Amino acid sequence: MLTLYELSGKADLRFSPFCWRARLAIGHKGLPARYVPVTFTDKDTIAFSGQKRVPVLVDGPETVADSWKIASHLEHAYPDRPSLFGGDIGRSFTRFIDAWATQSVFPSLVRIVLCDVLDHLDQSDAAYVKTTRERDLGTTWDKLREERDAFVPELRKSLAPARSILRQQEFLAGNEPLYADYSLFGLFQWARLISNYRLLDPMDSVEAWRCRMVAHTSRLIPDPQSVPPNI
């Protein structure tokens, strides 16, 4: 039995983009897991991992922090289960997609939806997130909210590589989703769980993919905790 320590908000909402990547990787492998909630300010629960961020996976004697390392660990440790990458070459390309999603897509997504996250946190976590994110982003919460619309064109532009591929195939990995899809979708799952903001044009091929991924996710992880709102 695996244990995944993952971020939890008010009403135990599991919204973290990186934890969703790990959740989907575990679901794809079809492995039984225990999902342990950790709040932003509860660093004691994951102190054993020697760092302060989630997701953290415990698999027998192994402790793995970081969503990419977790996916790599699962692929290596469970080669007889469905592959996350489709081989070594696939792993390299997936790593590129993972870096692109995190470095080129996530920053504008953050500017659009992060301002809604405080509604999903208890008081101490909300204060912590507001202070640390205002510091990291070099802005104030009011400005984040005021300026959010201006980041929509940037977000949509950053998705151009996915848009063209998804006009030709159902998923980034081809006919079925693999970790490349989970990596990008984790970010959209975060966005939809914390915000009602409409990010994409309904006719966008990325939006059609996002809807397919929502359906795929609810089949993969039937846990009622992860049943998301209707957007």
Ligand X SMILES: N[C@@H](CCC(=O)N[C@@H](CS)C(=O)NCC(=O)O)C(=O)O
Point out which residues bind ligand X (CB under 6 A): 7, 16-18, 40, 52-55, 66-68, 132
Q: Measured from the CB of residue 92, what is the shortest distance to ligand X in angstroms?
A: 18
CB of 52 to ligand X, least distance (A): 6
Specify the residue, 66 or 207, whose C-beta has the smaller distance to ligand X.
66
How many helices and strands (H and E) does the chain possess? 10, 4
What's the distance, CA 95 to chain centroid? Answer: 15
Q: How many whole angstroms separate alpha carbon 74 and alpha carbon 72?
A: 5
Joined tokens for residue 126:
């909300």
Residue among 20 and 166 whose Cβ is closer to ligand X = 20
**Which residue number, 52 or 143, has a Cβ lying nearer to ligand X?**
52
DSSP conformation class of 121: S
- Tell the smallest beta-carbon distance from residue 129 to ligand X (Å): 7
Toward ligand X, which CB reaches closer, 56 or 166?
56
Nearest distance in Å: CB 22, ligand X: 7
Alpha helices of 148-204 — where are they, by DSSP H? 152-158, 160-166, 179-194
- Parallel/antiparallel/unpaired status of strands 33-38 and 56-59: unpaired
Query: Which candidate, 151, 152, 153, 159, places its Cα nearest to that of 101?
Result: 159
Provide, rounded to whole angstroms, the least separation between the CB of residue 53 and ligand X: 3
Task: Give whichever of 19 and 159 is closer to ligand X, judged by the CB atom.
Answer: 19
